[in-house]
Protein backbone atom coordinates (compact mmCIF):
# COMPACT_ATOMS: atom_id res chain seq x y z
CA UNK A 1 0.00 0.00 0.00
CA UNK A 2 1.26 3.46 -0.77
CA UNK A 3 0.10 6.78 0.63
CA UNK A 4 -1.10 9.86 -1.22
CA UNK A 5 -1.56 13.42 0.05
CA UNK A 6 -4.12 15.59 -1.74
CA UNK A 7 -5.40 19.12 -1.33
CA UNK A 8 -8.90 20.51 -1.26
CA UNK A 9 -8.82 24.10 -2.55
CA UNK A 10 -12.06 26.04 -2.54
CA UNK A 11 -13.46 29.43 -3.51
CA UNK A 12 -16.93 29.88 -2.08
CA UNK A 13 -18.87 26.77 -3.10
CA UNK A 14 -16.40 25.80 -5.87
CA UNK A 15 -13.56 23.30 -5.62
CA UNK A 16 -10.41 23.01 -7.71
CA UNK A 17 -10.32 19.66 -9.50
CA UNK A 18 -7.81 18.34 -12.00
CA UNK A 19 -8.21 16.06 -14.99
CA UNK A 20 -5.46 13.53 -15.63
CA UNK A 21 -3.77 13.47 -19.02
CA UNK A 22 -4.76 10.89 -21.60
CA UNK A 23 -1.29 9.36 -21.85
CA UNK A 24 -0.96 8.19 -18.21
CA UNK A 25 -2.68 5.92 -15.72
CA UNK A 26 -6.44 6.43 -15.32
CA UNK A 27 -6.66 8.66 -18.42
CA UNK A 28 -8.96 11.67 -18.24
CA UNK A 29 -10.20 10.84 -14.73
CA UNK A 30 -10.76 13.78 -12.40
CA UNK A 31 -8.99 14.06 -9.04
CA UNK A 32 -7.97 16.47 -6.33
CA UNK A 33 -4.39 17.71 -6.74
CA UNK A 34 -1.64 15.90 -4.90
CA UNK A 35 0.46 12.80 -5.16
CA UNK A 36 2.46 10.00 -3.64
CA UNK A 37 4.11 10.48 -0.25
CA UNK A 38 7.77 9.57 -0.67
CA UNK A 39 9.73 7.41 1.79
CA UNK A 40 10.66 9.44 4.87
CA UNK A 41 8.31 12.28 3.90
CA UNK A 42 5.33 13.41 5.95
CA UNK A 43 1.88 13.88 4.44
CA UNK A 44 1.96 17.68 4.86
CA UNK A 45 5.41 17.95 3.26
CA UNK A 46 4.23 15.79 0.34
CA UNK A 47 1.18 18.02 -0.08
CA UNK A 48 3.37 21.13 -0.21
CA UNK A 49 5.78 19.55 -2.72
CA UNK A 50 3.04 18.17 -4.96
CA UNK A 51 0.97 21.37 -5.11
CA UNK A 52 4.09 23.36 -5.96
CA UNK A 53 4.91 20.92 -8.79
CA UNK A 54 1.37 20.54 -10.10
CA UNK A 55 -0.16 24.01 -9.58
CA UNK A 56 2.80 26.30 -8.82
CA UNK A 57 1.37 27.39 -5.45
CA UNK A 58 2.94 27.47 -2.00
CA UNK A 59 0.74 25.99 0.72
CA UNK A 60 0.80 28.12 3.86
CA UNK A 61 -1.99 26.58 5.96
CA UNK A 62 -3.64 23.19 5.61
CA UNK A 63 -5.31 20.75 7.95
CA UNK A 64 -6.10 17.10 7.47
CA UNK A 65 -9.86 16.60 7.11
CA UNK A 66 -10.36 13.16 5.56
CA UNK A 67 -8.44 9.88 5.31
CA UNK A 68 -9.36 6.51 3.89
CA UNK A 69 -7.94 3.45 2.16
CA UNK A 70 -9.01 2.25 -1.27
CA UNK A 71 -8.27 -0.90 -3.26
CA UNK A 72 -8.43 -0.60 -7.05
CA UNK A 73 -9.58 -3.49 -9.25
CA UNK A 74 -5.99 -4.20 -10.35
CA UNK A 75 -5.02 -4.88 -6.71
CA UNK A 76 -3.34 -1.51 -6.09
CA UNK A 77 -4.05 -0.32 -2.54
CA UNK A 78 -3.70 3.30 -1.55
CA UNK A 79 -4.22 5.33 1.61
CA UNK A 80 -5.46 8.81 0.75
CA UNK A 81 -4.91 11.75 3.10
CA UNK A 82 -6.89 14.88 2.16
CA UNK A 83 -6.10 18.36 3.46
CA UNK A 84 -8.31 21.45 3.51
CA UNK A 85 -5.86 24.01 2.07
CA UNK A 86 -6.81 27.13 4.00
CA UNK A 87 -4.16 29.52 2.69
CA UNK A 88 -1.64 29.50 -0.14
CA UNK A 89 0.54 31.90 -2.11
CA UNK A 90 0.19 32.24 -5.85
CA UNK A 91 -2.52 31.52 -8.35
CA UNK A 92 -3.12 27.88 -9.28
CA UNK A 93 -1.71 27.23 -12.76
CA UNK A 94 -1.96 23.95 -14.61
CA UNK A 95 1.54 22.47 -14.78
CA UNK A 96 0.86 18.75 -15.44
CA UNK A 97 -2.82 18.01 -16.03
CA UNK A 98 -5.03 17.80 -19.11
CA UNK A 99 -6.97 20.64 -17.48
CA UNK A 100 -8.00 22.11 -14.14
CA UNK A 101 -11.36 23.62 -13.22
CA UNK A 102 -13.18 25.33 -10.36
CA UNK A 103 -16.38 23.30 -10.03
CA UNK A 104 -19.44 23.94 -7.83
CA UNK A 105 -19.94 21.30 -5.13
CA UNK A 106 -23.27 20.21 -6.58
CA UNK A 107 -21.61 19.32 -9.91
CA UNK A 108 -18.77 17.21 -8.50
CA UNK A 109 -20.76 13.98 -8.41
CA UNK A 110 -21.51 14.29 -12.15
CA UNK A 111 -17.80 14.14 -13.00
CA UNK A 112 -15.73 11.02 -13.75
CA UNK A 113 -13.53 10.95 -10.62
CA UNK A 114 -10.94 8.38 -9.61
CA UNK A 115 -12.63 5.73 -7.47
CA UNK A 116 -10.38 6.59 -4.54
CA UNK A 117 -11.66 10.17 -4.50
CA UNK A 118 -15.37 9.26 -4.55
CA UNK A 119 -15.87 9.09 -0.74
CA UNK A 120 -14.46 12.61 -0.50
CA UNK A 121 -16.67 13.82 -3.36
CA UNK A 122 -19.72 12.43 -1.53
CA UNK A 123 -18.71 14.18 1.69
CA UNK A 124 -18.14 17.51 -0.08
CA UNK A 125 -21.49 17.24 -1.90
CA UNK A 126 -23.15 16.68 1.47
CA UNK A 127 -21.63 19.96 2.64
CA UNK A 128 -19.04 18.60 5.03
CA UNK A 129 -15.31 18.69 5.72
CA UNK A 130 -14.08 22.14 4.72
CA UNK A 131 -14.28 25.34 6.67
CA UNK A 132 -16.72 28.06 5.73
CA UNK A 133 -14.30 30.72 6.91
CA UNK A 134 -11.57 31.00 4.35
CA UNK A 135 -8.41 33.03 4.16
CA UNK A 136 -7.89 34.77 0.85
CA UNK A 137 -4.93 33.61 -1.23
CA UNK A 138 -2.22 36.20 -1.76
pLDDT digits (tens, 9 = 90+) for 55-80: 999 999 999 999 999 998 888 899 99
Q: In which band, very low, low, confident or very high, does the pLDDT at 136 lie, cut at 50, 70 and 90?
A: very low
Instruction: Supply the pTM of this predicted model.
Output: 0.90
C-alpha neighbours within 13 Å on the C-beta side of residue 112? 6
Phi, psi (rounded to 5 degrees) for 47: -60, -50
Provide CB contacts within 8 A for 43, sequence distance 6+.
3, 5, 37, 64, 81, 83
H helices present in the chain, as ranges: 43-55, 105-108, 118-125
Q: What is the CATH number of domain 2-125?
A: 3.90.79.10
Amino acid sequence: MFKVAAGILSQGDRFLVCQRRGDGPFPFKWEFPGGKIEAGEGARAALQRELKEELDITVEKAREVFRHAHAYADGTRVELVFFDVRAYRGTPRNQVFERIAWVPADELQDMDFLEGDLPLVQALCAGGLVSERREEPT
